[in-house]
Amino acid sequence: MGIALKKISKSYNGQAVLKNLNLEINRGEFHVLLGPSGGGKTTILSVIAGLIRQDNGDVLIGKRNVSNLSPEKRKIGFVFQDYALFPHLTVFDNVAYGLRVKNVEESEINQKVEYYLSKVSIEKEKGKFSRQLSGGQKQRVALIRALITEPEILLLDEPMSNLDALTKETTGNELKTIQQEMGMTTVYVTHNQDEAILLGDRVSVLNHGEIEQIEAPDELFYHPKTEFVARFVGAKNILKVRIIEINQYGAVAQVNNSGLGQPVQIRVNKYPIFEKGKEINLCIHPEKISLKRENKASDVNLNRIRGKLINKTNNGNGLKATIDTNGMELHATIPKDLFDFKIHEDVWVCFAPDAPHPLCGKKCRAPEAGRRCLVTTQVDRLLGC
């Protein structure tokens, strides 16, 4: 069963949390709802489940309008943000709950519960109470408690936010496998872009009760449509530019970010929406930026901007560097072994012309093929290649 939210709005005490929200999720899809804390993610799930009544708009499951259906009739599995296991029941009885509600034979219940317990490898904990479980175990109990009723729709509210990185990855893969086996339409809420990319068939980004972009994870990651999405998926460098020239090789843009002392010109790939004189936002992923000490002639193909390293933070296998380029801050993620700069050192910020992407819709995605640059010729250089 697919899910469709049509013009849903919801406010609490006059404060709008969901604003005319439309969302269609296909049958069998693993859909990730990505957004910052307080963005309305839990509210959306609660509206789908019928735990919160929307002020306006309709919820469709399959072809059926369920807006007036109480939650127990919607055939939805819900894994809550805080797991919400029944504290007075053992793991076994928690998992069996949904079957007992339906008066299933006790022997069948036994068999099914054992099956699901073993599926997520927590048979050993079946006699424990939730207060005796670790976060990861609780999460798995909550998951199979929802799965055992074989819901048509599975709603997961940040189910992995309490797990360590390693467990997260294995659990995520398990979850995805189970979802594919059982084939239920799944909505997975998170504020973590890595989870979104790992799990989602499609990802929608929620900002203040509105969906800013719905896309397959790769597309979303590399082609964010708005500044908010770009920042949220980690494309932290946003350049506000004016296109000053378009030629057969690409385009030349003038960066005018506020705070920037002097406009800088960069070369970028040519996109269909580019027009001479047009103001547009470009984003660059920090991984696409490299730092150099010298301005070598062999780097002539790269954009180079002079700056000063003002901060570096350790990020596991990479270093996050912040560079001040005459009033504009740029962020770069550099592999540790390539990083030998000191704070306050002057550096060249380098990135290829294909690194910046315009923040725009689908139509402008693919850059137009430009003629290959002939770096050596003076003419090409003049043309901004």
Partner 1 sequence: MKKLSFDTAISFITGIFVCLIVLPMFALFTATSFGELINQFGSPLVLSAIAISLETSLIVVLLALCLGIPVAYLLAMKDFKGKEILDTLVDLPICMPPLVAGLALLILLGGNNKFGSMLSNCGIDLIFSKKGIIIAQLFVSMPFLIKSARGAFESINKNVTNASLTLGASKFYTFKKVLLPLAKNGIYAGMVMTWARALGEFGATSMVAGCIPLKTETMPVAIYQNAMSGELTSSIAIALLLLVFSFTSLLIFKSRVRGQTG
| Minimum separation from the CB atom of position 24 to Mg ion (A) | 22
Q: Which of partner 1, Mg ion, ligand ATP, none has residue 43 at its interface (CB below 5 to 8 Å by kind)?
A: ligand ATP
| Minimum separation from the CB atom of position 308 to Mg ion (A) | 40
Q: Which of ligand ATP, partner 1, Mg ion, none has residue 190 at its interface (CB below 5 to 8 Å by kind)?
A: none
39 binds ligand ATP (CB under 6 A): yes
72 binds partner 1 (CB under 8 A): yes
Q: Which of 6-14, 34-42, 113-121, 138-146 is the region at the interface with Mg ion (rule: CB under 5 A)?
A: 34-42
Taking CB under 8 A as the criterion, the residue among 35, 43, 80, 225 binding partner 1 is: 80
Question: Are 126 and 91 within 8 A, CB to CB?
Answer: yes
Q: CA end-to-end span of the chain, whole Å?
A: 52
Q: Which of Mg ion, partner 1, ligand ATP, none has residue 84 at its interface (CB below 5 to 8 Å by kind)?
A: partner 1
131 binds partner 1 (CB under 8 A): no
254 binds partner 1 (CB under 8 A): no
190 binds Mg ion (CB under 5 A): no
181 binds partner 1 (CB under 8 A): no
| Minimum separation from the CB atom of position 75 to partner 1 (A) | 8
179 binds Mg ion (CB under 5 A): no
Q: What tokens appear for 61 in the block?
A: 């499951």
Q: Which of 6-14, 66-74, 187-195, 347-355 is the region at the interface with partner 1 (rule: CB under 8 A)?
A: 66-74
14 binds ligand ATP (CB under 6 A): no
82 binds ligand ATP (CB under 6 A): no
Which is closer to partner 1, CB of 73 or CB of 372? 73
51 binds partner 1 (CB under 8 A): yes
Which is closer to partner 1, CB of 47 or CB of 233? 47
Judged by the rule CB under 6 A, the positions of this chain that interact with ligand ATP are: 12, 17, 35, 37-43, 81, 191
